[in-house]
Amino acid sequence: MEATVPSAYPVKVVGAFAQVRRVLEKLQSQTLWTSFVLGQVCSIFVCGSAVTSTWLTTKKNVNCPTAQSFLNYVLIGLVYSICLRCQSKGDELLEALRRRWWKYLILAVIDVEANYLMVKAYQYTTLTSVQLLDCSIIPIVLILSCVVLRYRFHCSHYIGVLFCVGGAVCMVLGDVLVKKSEKEAENRLIGDLMVFGGSVLYAFSNVSEEYIVKKYSRLEFLSMLGIFGSVVNGIQLVALERHEVQSIKWQDWEIVLCLLAFAGCMFGLYSLVPLLMRRTGATVFNMSILSADFYALIIGLTLFSYQFHYIYFIGFTLVVTGLVTYAAHEPSTRFDDENKPDETTALSLQSPADQTIVTMSYRPISDSFTETVA
The answer on 364 and 253 residing in a single domain is no
Strand partners, 371: 360
The answer on 72 and 30 residing in a single domain is yes
The answer on 374 and 285 residing in a single domain is no
The answer on 350 and 278 residing in a single domain is no
Q: How far apart are CA 358 and CA 362, in angstroms?
A: 13
Quick check: is 2 in a domain? Answer: no
Q: Which helix (H) or strand (E) holds 361?
A: strand 357-363
Contact 322, 160 (CB under 8 A): yes
pLDDT at 351: 42
pTM of this structure: 0.78
Q: How many other CB atoms are found less than 10 A from the CB of residue 323?
A: 26
Question: Which residues constitute the domain of residue 357?
Answer: 343-374
Interval 71-97: pLDDT, tens: 999 999 999 999 988 887 667 888 888
pLDDT at 358: 34
Quick check: is 30 in a domain? Answer: yes
Q: How far apart are CA 231 and CA 94, in angstroms?
A: 18
Query: Order of strands, edge to edge, in the sheet holding 345-350?
Result: 345-350, 357-363, 368-373
The answer on 328 and 185 residing in a single domain is yes
The answer on 216 and 169 residing in a single domain is yes
Average pLDDT, the chain: 79
Q: How far apart are CA 93 and CA 81, in angstroms?
A: 7
Contact 32, 26 (CB under 8 A): yes
pLDDT at 30: 73
Quick check: is 14 in a domain? Answer: no
Quick check: is 249 in a domain? Answer: yes
What are the angstrom distances between the C-alpha of 365 and each of 145, 261, 338, 342, 368? 32, 53, 16, 8, 8
The answer on 143 and 62 residing in a single domain is yes
pLDDT at 371: 35
Using alpha carbons only, how large is the chain's radius of gyration in Å?
A: 26
Q: Which stretches of the chain score pLDDT less than 70? A: 1-28, 89-90, 126-129, 131, 179-186, 304, 334-374
Quick check: is 13 in a domain? Answer: no
Quick check: is 10 in a domain? Answer: no
pLDDT at 208: 92
Count up the domains in the chain and report the number.
2
Q: How far apart are CA 339 and CA 233, in angstroms?
A: 36
Amino acid at residue number 114: A
The answer on 61 and 41 residing in a single domain is yes
Interval 130-186: pLDDT, tens: 767 778 788 889 888 888 888 888 888 889 889 988 888 887 787 777 766 555 556
The answer on 271 and 307 residing in a single domain is yes
pLDDT at 70: 94
Strand partners, 152: 332
The answer on 354 and 217 residing in a single domain is no
The answer on 200 and 180 residing in a single domain is yes
The answer on 253 and 323 residing in a single domain is yes
